[in-house]
């Protein structure tokens, strides 16, 4: 098999008296951000290398094309293609969504509550895609004005997350001339429906300005209402639950600052709520004359404070912090406050009577491990009826209408698996591994009930481990394409994520980042020790920052794996953290450390960065994906990684690179069928390397 080669150019840059050598540094072309908008600017040698790798990957999959087709059909057969969401009762209209077998992007529908007119499709994704003639079709926001007459929507037509905002008059069903380019995609309407707010992207793809656009006026006349001066902070705007205030939030990964102004204000002069304090995150909402403050100040896993909206310096505790419990945000009704919390990576829901201040848990299912949810049914908050939901790794999602007073619940929607699904065929388990420092790491898994725990099964072990992101033990019908073939699906709730609260995140970032990787290795070894699998029976599965975890553990313990799926992986960590012109880098220093200013951080990142630590050893088979249009993890990272990996490795395993040269984003190609195709290919790689080909 002809393995592509990438040319090497000797290069070395000195940082903190340390020379960083990188023979592929030329791939990080100086105008690399321009490639996101115009792929013709890609260096010809890199283009050729990518094309050769794509051909190699295509050849690799030739003998499993039948399996891929079978997997595609299986996955699609598990999706109810013609499906309708539950209706939300707004002021004048019911709003809901609908998917159809023949489409990929779904429809948004509404109907007058009094039924005097037939339902209308006010946004049809498939029609819009055809209208714009783009291969990629990313939908940012679709927001209808408060008067129900206008719709502002934003589209990314390449995958690089530069969103253009369009405006449509729903009375005439025609687009207005108002078009705003290079935005973050968010749209927030003013209450009078004469204007809306949006965030503009700067030259480094960071939303640091908020503008007000008045319908029918030229974009160049839009009024700047807020600008963030700190390049590490980005901003956005939203409306409070009672629609009394607009709130501007600006933040990096660990610190926030919020401003507010009256939603009916003629002149906008935002008032700061609390000045930014390093490592303090907070958000405000208003209800019945009070501000509710969700904050981690003095409470690592958050607490809720409360004050009158005209007395913001007179704050009292509303919900105190709880040890090792993450306190969630609030939802409001006239007589009740709804909230969630999480401990030991298990979520719970609570309802509080505003008059009596009594609170109780809403129990939805007898299953011990799963994901509860809560949502409002209508705009009018004078109600005792809400929707609650439940799903687990074995049980498809169910939604109930729930009466808070009577505690009665009525099943109103259940995720239907057309090809059939019996939850009783499977076992969901929560087991725990001891990491290198004694920390106990939860593992959630689902397997066939009749599978033997004899140390012979293969395990797909998913992980993320960054940004305080929690990985819920939720339902995914497609996973059963693997589980039904005898592969155990497991989630390692490793540090760096937020599964067990803020300390879980803190213990997996900056100079403690290696805990993330060591936790994953501990989870893999525990699965082996408990005879769920064996050494060499694990498949790593993760993307983006999860791909960093995969790249790191590949260097640290490659013998554990028979294969690895590294999807848009953050594997050239050092190069990215040294480039402050990239979209995310300045804000990311609070997570990884700043190697430009600190020798300690430079040395620490260098000690684990997957690209920099590739060595002469045996690596497992890998499928590595990327996209030319991905602004979050640039294509250069996987390209350099695969080239260097092949230079140094001692094995004869095949490590593959697939780079999407057509429009695609960080999450892959757009559209339902494209997503299924990509997933079928990933699963076929797992099954082929696992030697399960039926």
Find where tokens 């999450």 sit. 667
Residue 176 and residue 197 in contact, taking contact as beta carbons nearer than 8 Å: no
> What pLDDT is attached to residue 665?
64
**What is the full DSSP assignment across 355-376?**
TT--EEE----S-SS-EEEEE-
Which helix (H) or strand (E) segment holds residue 169: the answer is strand 163-169
Looking only at the bridges linking them, the beta strands covering 359-361 and 346-353 are antiparallel
Percentage of residues of the chain with pLDDT beyond 90: 88
Find where tokens 């699965």 sit. 527
SS3 506: helix
Bridge partners for 251 per DSSP:
234, 256
pLDDT in tens, 215-233: 999 999 999 999 999 988 9
| pLDDT mean across residues, the chain | 94
Alpha-carbon distance 682 to 694, whole Å?
Answer: 16
In a 13 Å sphere around the CA of 62, the CA atoms on its Cβ side amount to: 6
Mean pLDDT of 426-442: 97
657 pLDDT tier (thresholds 50, 70, 90)? very high
147 pLDDT tier (thresholds 50, 70, 90)? very high
> What pLDDT is attached to residue 668?
65
125 pLDDT tier (thresholds 50, 70, 90)? very high
Alpha-carbon distance 331 to 333, whole Å?
Answer: 7
Alpha-carbon distance 87 to 112, whole Å?
Answer: 12
Q: Is the pLDDT of residue 120 over 80?
A: yes
> What pLDDT is attached to residue 664?
66
Q: Is the pLDDT of residue 663 over 80?
A: no
Q: Is the pLDDT of residue 33 over 90?
A: no
SS3 567: strand
pLDDT in tens, 465-519: 999 999 999 999 999 999 999 999 999 999 999 999 889 999 999 999 999 999 9
Alpha-carbon distance 618 to 613, whole Å?
Answer: 13
592 compared with 158, residue with greater pLDDT:
592
694 pLDDT tier (thresholds 50, 70, 90)? confident
> What pLDDT is attached to residue 177?
85
Residue 448 and residue 421 in contact, taking contact as beta carbons nearer than 8 Å: no
Q: Is the pLDDT of residue 262 over 70?
A: yes
**What is the full DSSP assignment across 277-343?**
-TT--EEEEEETTEEEEEE-TT-TT-EEEEEETT-TT--EEEE--BTTBEEEEEEE-SSEEEEEEEE
Burial of 205 by CB count in 10 Å (0-12 exposed, 13-18 middle, 19+ buried)?
Answer: buried
Find where tokens 């926001």 sit. 141
667 pLDDT tier (thresholds 50, 70, 90)? low
> What pLDDT is attached to residue 249?
97
Residue 689 and residue 621 in contact, taking contact as beta carbons nearer than 8 Å: yes
**What is the full DSSP assignment across 46-85?**
HHHHHHHHHHHHHHHTGGGHHHHHHHHHHHHHTS-SSEEP
Looking only at the bridges linking them, the beta strands covering 459-462 and 488-492 are parallel
Burial of 367 by CB count in 10 Å (0-12 exposed, 13-18 middle, 19+ buried)?
Answer: middle
pLDDT in tens, 581-637: 888 888 899 899 999 999 999 999 999 999 999 999 999 999 999 998 887 899 999
Mean pLDDT of 544-548: 96
Query: Which of 299-303, 559-563, 669-673, 690-694 has the least mean pLDDT?
Result: 669-673
Sheet holding 290-295, edge to edge: 282-287, 290-295, 303-308, 316-319
In sequence order, the 6+-apart residues with CB closer than 8 A to the CB of 128 are 105, 137, 153, 155
Taking each helix axis from N to C end, the angle separating 545-556 and 514-529, rounded to the nearest 10 degrees, works out to 70
pTM summary value: 0.90
Percentage of residues of the chain with pLDDT beyond 70: 99
Looking only at the bridges linking them, the beta strands covering 18-21 and 12-15 are antiparallel
Entry field: residues in the chain: 694
User: What's the CATH number of domain 12-63+426-672, 3.40.50.1820, 3.50.50.60, 2.40.50.140, 3.90.1200.10?
Assistant: 3.40.50.1820
Intervals of CATH 3.40.50.1820 along the chain: 12-63+426-672
> What pLDDT is attached to residue 265?
94
């Amino acid at each position: 098999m002809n393995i592509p080669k990438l040319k090497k150019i000797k290069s070395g840059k000195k940082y903190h008296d340390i020379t960083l050598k990188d023979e592929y540094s030329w791939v990080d072309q100086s105008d690399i951000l321009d490639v996101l908008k115009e792929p013709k600017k890609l260096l010809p040698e890199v283009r050729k290398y990518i094309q050769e790798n794509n051909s190699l990957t295509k050849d690799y999959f030739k003998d499993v094309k039948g399996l891929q087709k079978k997997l595609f059909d299986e996955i699609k057969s598990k999706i109810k293609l013609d499906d309708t969401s539950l209706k939300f009762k707004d002021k004048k209209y019911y709003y809901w969504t609908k998917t159809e077998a023949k489409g990929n992007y779904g429809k948004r529908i509404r109907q007058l509550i009094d039924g005097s007119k037939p339902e209308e499709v006010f946004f049809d994704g498939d029609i819009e895609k055809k209208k714009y003639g783009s291969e990629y079709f990313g939908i940012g926001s679709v927001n209808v004005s408060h008067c129900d007459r206008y719709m502002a929507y934003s589209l990314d037509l390449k995958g690089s997350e530069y969103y253009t905002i369009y405006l449509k008059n729903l009375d005439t069903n025609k687009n207005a001339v108002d078009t705003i380019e290079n935005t973050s995609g968010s749209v927030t309407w003013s209450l009078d429906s004469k204007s809306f707010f949006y965030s503009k992207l700067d030259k480094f793809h960071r939303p640091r300005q908020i503008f007000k656009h008045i319908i029918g006026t030229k974009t160049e006349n839009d009024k700047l209402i807020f600008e963030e001066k700190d390049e590490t902070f980005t901003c956005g705007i939203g409306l409070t639950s009672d629609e009394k205030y607009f709130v501007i939030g600006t933040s990096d990964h660990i610190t926030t600052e919020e401003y507010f102004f009256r939603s009916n204000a003629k002149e906008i002069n935002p008032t700061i709520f609390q000045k930014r304090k390093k490592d303090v995150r907070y958000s405000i909402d208003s209800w019945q004359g009070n501000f509710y403050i969700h904050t981690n100040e003095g409470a690592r896993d958050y607490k809720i404070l409360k004050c009158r909206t005209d007395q913001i310096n007179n704050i009292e505790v509303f919900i105190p912090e709880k040890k090792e419990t993450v306190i969630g945000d609030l939802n409001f009704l006239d007589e009740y406050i709804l909230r969630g919390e999480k401990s030991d990576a298990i979520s719970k829901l609570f309802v509080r009577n505003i008059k009596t201040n009594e609170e109780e848990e809403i129990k939805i299912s007898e299953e011990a491990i799963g994901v509860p949810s809560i949502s409002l049914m209508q705009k009018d908050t004078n109600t005792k009826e809400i929707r609650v939901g439940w799903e687990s790794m074995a049980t498809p999602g169910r939604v109930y209408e729930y009466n808070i007073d009577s505690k009665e619940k009525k099943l109103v929607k259940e995720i239907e698996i057309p090809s059939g699904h019996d939850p009783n065929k499977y076992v969901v388990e929560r087991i725990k591994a001891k990491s290198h420092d004694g920390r106990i790491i939860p593992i959630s898994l689902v397997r066939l009930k009749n599978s033997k725990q004899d140390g012979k099964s293969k395990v797909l072990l998913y992980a993320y481990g960054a940004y305080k992101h929690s990985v819920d033990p939720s339902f995914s019908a497609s996973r059963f394409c693997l589980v039904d073939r005898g592969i155990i699906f497991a989630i390692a709730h490793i540090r760096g994520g937020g599964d067990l609260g803020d300390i879980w995140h803190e213990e997996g970032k900056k100079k403690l980042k290696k805990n993330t990787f060591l936790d994953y290795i501990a989870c893999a070894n525990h699965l082996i020790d408990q005879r769920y699998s064996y050494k060499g029976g694990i498949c790593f599965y993760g993307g983006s920052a999860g791909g960093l975890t995969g790249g790191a553990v590949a260097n640290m313990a490659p013998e554990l794996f028979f294969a690895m799926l590294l999807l848009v992986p953050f594997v050239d960590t050092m190069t990215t953290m040294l480039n402050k012109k990239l979209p995310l880098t300045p804000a990311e220093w609070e997570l990884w450390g700043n190697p430009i200013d600190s020798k300690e951080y430079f040395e620490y990142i260098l000690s684990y960065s997957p690209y920099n630590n590739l060595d002469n050893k045996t690596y497992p088979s890998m499928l590595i994906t990327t996209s030319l249009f991905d602004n979050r993890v640039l294509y250069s990272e996987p390209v350099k990684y695969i080239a260097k990996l092949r230079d140094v490795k001692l094995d004869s395993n095949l490590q593959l690179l697939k780079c999407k040269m057509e429009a695609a984003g960080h999450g892959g190609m757009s559209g339902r069928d494209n997503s299924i195709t990509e997933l079928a290919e990933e699963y076929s790689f797992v099954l082929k390397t696992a030697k399960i080909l039926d």
